[in-house]
Amino acid sequence: MKNYEFWLVVGSQDLYGEEVLKTVAVRAAEMAEKLSKALPYPLVYKVTAMSNGQITRVIKEANYDDNCAGIITWCHTFSPSKMWINGLALLQKPWCHFATQYNKEIPNEEIDMDFMNLNQAAHGDREHGFLGARLRAPRKIIAGHWEKEDVQKRIGDWMKAAVGAAVSREMKVMRFGDNMREVAVTEGDKVEVQTKLGWQVNTWAVGDLVKEMNAVTEAEIDALMEVYKAGYDIATENVEAIRYQAREEIAMKKMLDREGCRAFSNTFQDLYGMEQLPGLASQHLMAQGYGYGGEGDWKVSAMTAIMKAMGENGNGASAFMEDYTYHLAEGQEYSLGAHMLEVCPSVAGTRPRIETHHLGIGMNEKDPARLVFEGREGDAIVVSLVDMGGRLRLICQDIHCVKPIMPMPNLPVARVMWQAKPSLTTGVECWITAGGAHHTVLSYDVTAGQMKDWANMLGIEFVHITKDTTVESLEKELFYNDIAWKLKRM
Ligand SMILES: [Mn+2]
């Protein structure tokens, strides 16, 4: 990950004289310094902007600085917004308008006209806000005192979404093999995703991976086996199967790192020259922050990598997931999510076990080793990116994960169990109405609000299924979205 930072640009003008401007600059620097300690990324005070030229210059610099993941603007005093038009029209980075104020309270004795002219964010931020609205610029507006914890939390959440946008714009996905034959929802327009989201999605021959696997040394495998032993319980006699997965992981990691790819996909239909579908190998790569999608699903793979990057320490509890089967007992309705092998252990509620089992589907010659565990309890979201033809739609559903209500001792894969909002059946009706995939990213870490911000930053449609969503309201929303997005393209 880059050393991402955010820039604080404070609006003012030259009407107030030197003293006021000095005070604004000192306070802005103090706020940036204190906020940096509370926020997940540094906030760097750049300038008290007083002219069109200054604003345009700092925005051009922000656009071309790879470490700058977004700008935060605030008007300590009044800052006439026509000065901002040329700059903001060029802005290519996420923008947060922070409507705050240096002082928390109105000082009864001290307040006079000078105080009012110095502390007029209430005035200045309205002028600033009009321009954002007039330009139809995507922006996040956060209001509140800068020292308040919940305000800082909201800025921090937005920053992480902005880092997700930065990671998206540099995303490279390595595809081993094509999409699974005949499957529609995992398909998509690679030119469209590169244009809108920045993703470079390209293919590499499975034969090249096999060549790389053959070059892996026993010593490299020994070292990775120690890592597996430290993190997981070995619950199989078949050590050779685990060593084979280690070989696959090392080879894939080398290829990914060489090409600068943060995400990959493969398919059980194209394992030419491989003995096992990578299970443990893919799971352990995901645990290190790489994105993965099964059956050639490069969209979910890139989304997994992006949502991991948005999480704590650049690898939060976000996992490639698949809706598998339902428990429809009255009053006890749950979805069971899993995958053929590849569920990321970052969502584990129990210590993962390495097991080997027969896998009938695909080109497996030998039983693949995989991590088996239960997902943990907690509020989460599931996210799916679909290509609607002409535009991308990001669908997000609120869910609550539970400890699986039964042990399922013969299920040979990791599993997560959850209740969808608003309920299993209405939730499924909504999801299907919106066209969401069976593959998702399940996250305990990234919130629906952050995904909405991320979609806004990149200019794609966002659909949120919550505890309050009804099929009827969603149908209307999708109908109007369809018209609006068609008009946007004109
Ligand atoms: Mn699948």
- Residue spans of the domains in the chain: they are 5-169, 172-489
Alpha carbon distances (Å) from 201 to 63, 89, 101, 210, 485? 24, 30, 44, 21, 25
> Is the peptide bond between 404 and the residue preceding it cis, with omega within 30 degrees of 0?
no
pLDDT in tens, 421-467: 999 999 999 999 999 999 999 999 999 999 999 999 999 999 999 99
Please report which helix (H) or strand (E) contains residue 480, including its range.
Answer: helix 471-489
Q: How confident is the model at residue 129 (pLDDT cuts 50, 70, 90)?
A: very high
253 neighbors 285 (Cβ within 8 angstroms): yes
Cα 198 to middle of ligand 1, angstroms: 24
CA-based max dimension of the chain: 83
Residues in the chain: 490
Cα 338 to middle of ligand 1, angstroms: 9
Cα 488 from chain centroid?
Answer: 25
Cα 296 to middle of ligand 1, angstroms: 9
pLDDT at 296: 97
Cα 7 to middle of ligand 1, angstroms: 41
pLDDT at 452: 98
Nearest to 424 by CA among 325, 339, 349: 325
pLDDT in tens, 77-111: 999 999 999 999 999 999 999 999 999 999 999 99
Residue 313 reports pLDDT greater than 70: no
Kindly provide the residue ranges of all beta strands, DSSP E only, lying in 243-288, ordered along the sequence: 263-265
For 82, residues 6+ apart whose C-beta sits below 8 A from its C-beta are 52
Cα 421 to middle of ligand 1, angstroms: 22
The residue type found at 172 is K
State percent of the chain over pLDDT 70.
Answer: 99
Cα 121 to middle of ligand 1, angstroms: 51
Pairing of strands 5-11, 68-75: parallel
The residue type found at 128 is H
Alpha carbon distances (Å) from 415 to 208, 301, 308, 332, 439? 32, 19, 19, 17, 14
Q: Take residue 281 and report the two structure tokens written for it.
A: 């190998």
Cα 480 to middle of ligand 1, angstroms: 31
> Average pLDDT in the 197-204 region?
98
SS3 183: coil
Residue 375 reports pLDDT greater than 90: yes
Cα 175 to middle of ligand 1, angstroms: 15
> Average pLDDT in the 354-380 region?
92
Q: What integer best gives the mean pLDDT of the chain?
A: 96
Cα 473 to middle of ligand 1, angstroms: 30
**Cα–Cα distance measured from residue 290 to residue 213, given in angstroms and rounded to the nearest whole number:** 19
Cα 212 to middle of ligand 1, angstroms: 25
Cα 438 to middle of ligand 1, angstroms: 7
Cα 172 to middle of ligand 1, angstroms: 21
384 neighbors 373 (Cβ within 8 angstroms): no
Cα 153 to middle of ligand 1, angstroms: 35
Cα 414 to middle of ligand 1, angstroms: 13
For 367, residues 6+ apart whose C-beta sits below 8 A from its C-beta are 238, 241, 276, 356, 357, 358, 359
pLDDT in tens, 171-191: 999 999 999 999 999 999 999
Question: DSSP secondary structure string, 235-293?
Answer: --S-HHHHHHHHHHHHHHHHHHHHHT-SEEE--TT--TT-SS--SHHHHHHHHTT-EEE
* Helices 280-287 and 218-231, packing angle to 10 deg: 70
pLDDT at 314: 66
**Cα–Cα distance measured from residue 347 to residue 41, given in angstroms and rounded to the nearest whole number:** 24
pLDDT in tens, 31-64: 999 999 999 999 999 999 999 999 999 999 999 9
pLDDT in tens, 237-260: 999 999 999 999 999 999 999 999
**Cα–Cα distance measured from residue 290 to residue 88, given in angstroms and rounded to the nearest whole number:** 34
State residue 64 phi and psi, 5-degree precision: -100, 0
Cα 127 to middle of ligand 1, angstroms: 50
State residue 347 phi and psi, 5-degree precision: -105, 10
**Cα–Cα distance measured from residue 400 to residue 375, given in angstroms and rounded to the nearest whole number:** 12
SS3 275: coil
39 neighbors 159 (Cβ within 8 angstroms): yes
Pairing of strands 318-329, 439-443: antiparallel
Cα 449 to middle of ligand 1, angstroms: 26
**Cα–Cα distance measured from residue 141 to residue 246, given in angstroms and rounded to the nearest whole number:** 47
Cα 137 to middle of ligand 1, angstroms: 37
SS3 249: helix
Cα 279 to middle of ligand 1, angstroms: 13
Cα 490 from chain centroid?
Answer: 29
State percent of the chain over pLDDT 90.
Answer: 95
Residue 16 reports pLDDT greater than 90: no
Q: How confident is the model at residue 365 (pLDDT cuts 50, 70, 90)?
A: confident
SS3 434: helix
Alpha carbon distances (Å) from 317 to 29, 158, 445? 34, 18, 5
Cα 233 to middle of ligand 1, angstroms: 25
* Range from 295-299, 360-364, 436-440 carrying the lowest mean pLDDT: 360-364
Q: Take residue 308 and report the two structure tokens written for it.
A: 């991991």
Kindly provide the residue ranges of all beta strands, DSSP E only, lying in 435-488, ordered along the sequence: 439-443, 461-465
Question: DSSP secondary structure string, 62-78?
Answer: HHH-TTEEEEEEEESS-
Cα 308 to middle of ligand 1, angstroms: 19
**Cα–Cα distance measured from residue 12 to residue 77, given in angstroms and rounded to the nearest whole number:** 5
Cα 192 to middle of ligand 1, angstroms: 23
Alpha carbon distances (Å) from 65 to 4, 59, 455? 10, 10, 22
For 485, residues 6+ apart whose C-beta sits below 8 A from its C-beta are 390, 391, 461
Residue 2 reports pLDDT greater than 90: no
pLDDT at 33: 98
322 neighbors 440 (Cβ within 8 angstroms): yes
Cα 111 to middle of ligand 1, angstroms: 64
Cα 395 from chain centroid?
Answer: 13
Residue 315 reports pLDDT greater than 90: no
Q: Take residue 282 and report the two structure tokens written for it.
A: 């893919």
pLDDT at 316: 79
pLDDT at 362: 75
Q: What is the CATH number of domain 5-169?
A: 3.40.50.10940
**CA–CA–CA angle 344, 348, 349 (5° rounding):** 170
